[in-house]
Amino acid sequence: MSFDKTVTVALTGASGIQYGLRLIECLIQANCRIYVLMSKPAKVVMGMDTDQPVPARTSDVQSDFSERYGAKPGQLFAFGQEQWTSPVASGSGAPDAMVICPCTTGTLASVAAGNCNNLLERAADVVLKERRTLIVMPREMPFSTIHLENMLRLATAGAVIMPPNPAFYNLPETIDDLINFVVARVLDQLDIDQTLMPSWGSDQVNPDNAD
């Protein structure tokens, strides 16, 4: 089966895993192949931040997410943090893009330093060296000078830094509206068509609200 793009979605142990889960759902709907990397802390946060069942094993991540989000056969794969034979560990199997969503400041520091202590860090390193798109979505503010310096270092290396900060000009009414706004911006960066949010200046935005 043919897919339009291949995107790695890495989920780490920061609050905001809802953004990553919604992104996975949207990528499936957009006919992308998805590689999921989920750290153990991410599973803890998933249990705290959502009412969804937390998959215990990597195989459960793959089967549970595939069923929940309606993935086609061969569309979604999950890899463990020590699974060095996975495609994302090598430039020859690098995806079109990778999104770390949400990204802990520890993961931020490790990727900025070029550490490859686990598959997630290695996958990010591969995406950068292959000049593919790496989107890093740091956890909630505030940020220290160290955090900001690590963001600058990654941005200089070619990464896109996207703290998940929703806007309010679309007059959101629900938490889902806020999540959809952020995920829409990520899909825009990935050059994937989305219908979650109209672009600024489109006929779906009220021009009377602008100066």
Contact 173, 156 (CB under 8 A): no
pLDDT at 5: 97
Whole-number Å distance between alpha carbons of 199 and 203: 9
Residue 40 pLDDT exceeds 80: yes
Contact 81, 120 (CB under 8 A): yes
Contact 3, 36 (CB under 8 A): no
pLDDT at 131: 97
Whether 210 is covered by a domain: the verdict is: no
For 118-177, what is each residue's pLDDT tens digit? 999 999 999 999 999 999 999 999 999 999 999 999 999 999 999 999 999 889 999 999
DSSP per-residue string spanning 48-70: HH-SSPPP-SHHHHHHHHHHHHT
Q: How far is CA 36 from CA 10, 59, 86, in A?
A: 6, 11, 11
Its pTM stands at 0.93
How many domains, in total, are found in the chain?
Answer: 1
Whether 15 is covered by a domain: the verdict is: yes
Which residues make beta-bridge pairs with 6?
A: 33
Whether 32 is covered by a domain: the verdict is: yes
Q: Which helix (H) or strand (E) holds 119?
A: helix 119-129
pLDDT at 209: 54
Residue 34 pLDDT exceeds 90: yes
Which of the four pLDDT bands, split at 50, 70 and 90, describes residue 194? very high
Mean pLDDT of the chain: 94
Contact 56, 98 (CB under 8 A): no
Contact 15, 41 (CB under 8 A): no
Whether 202 is covered by a domain: the verdict is: no
Whether 208 is covered by a domain: the verdict is: no
pLDDT at 37: 98
pLDDT at 200: 74
Range of 90's domain? 6-197
Whether 1 is covered by a domain: the verdict is: no
pLDDT at 173: 96
CATH code of the domain in which 137 resides: 3.40.50.1950
Whether 160 is covered by a domain: the verdict is: yes
Whether 10 is covered by a domain: the verdict is: yes
Residue 203 pLDDT exceeds 90: no
